[in-house]
Amino acid sequence: MPFACSINLAYSLFATTASADFAGRYSVAVVLAGSVTLNSKRPSFSVHWLSINPYVYYSPDYLRTGANATYAGGIVKFTLPSAWFPTDWGVYLSGEAAHYWIGTFTAFGTPFDLPDYTTWNVGIGATYKVFTVDLRYYDTDLSKTNCELLTGDPSGFSSGTSKWCSATVIGKVSFDLTLNSNIK
């Protein structure tokens, strides 16, 4: 494997709406070996069986609250050797960890600090041609009270708590029909 060192910074600006979370997106990758791919989403580092994708996002006005916010984390994906599986099949293990730093709510009334939190997931996926089945465990360190504060869960209005941020397992079935790469 040839040695390479690269530092990439990408910035994307897109229109905001009342429900838009981020007005700008920054991505940074520091790579010491392997190959680097910089696409429209985020930079990545990969060596056949390992992919590392760091990211940093910033918003000057988180959900129109007046609070600035930074979200930083990374994804690690291990692809198991294709020789272990029948033709056109693949299996991967992946995980992601990220932290949200959220500033002070200033949209109206008395300003107050919004809670910072960490979120993570770990999962396994199987691919067959253009299809993927992914099973993933998600969790966060948000308390039920802070979850209610950030989400506005209607079922938690009277108690001031929410179960929306509890640990969960999610299964997903998807397919990729990227033009000219998977369709023959």
Q: Is 87 exposed, middle or buried (0-12, 13-18, 19+ CB in 10 A)?
A: exposed
Could you give the maximum distance between any two Cα atoms of the chain, in Å?
Answer: 61
Place of tokens 């580092």: 45
What are the CA-CA distances from residue 116 to residues 5, 69, 143, 148 (Å)? Answer: 33, 9, 11, 14
Residue 47 has pLDDT above 80, yes or no: no
For residue range 99-143, what is the model confidence (pLDDT) as tens digits?
999 999 887 788 889 999 999 999 999 999 999 999 999 999 999
Q: What angle do CA 180, 183, 184 make, to 5 degrees?
A: 95
What secondary structure letter does DSSP report for 144? H
* CA–centroid distance for 153 within its chain: 22
Alpha-carbon dihedral 13, 16, 22, 26, rounded to 10 degrees: 0
Can you tell me the distance from the alpha carbon of 101 to that of 18, in angstroms, rounded to the nearest whole number?
20
Span 135-178, pLDDT tens digits: 999 999 999 999 998 888 888 888 989 989 999 999 999 998 87
Per-residue pLDDT of 56-65, as tens digits, reads 988 888 888 8
C-alpha 21/C-alpha 64 separation (Å) is 8
Break the chain into its structural domains and give their ranges: 48-175
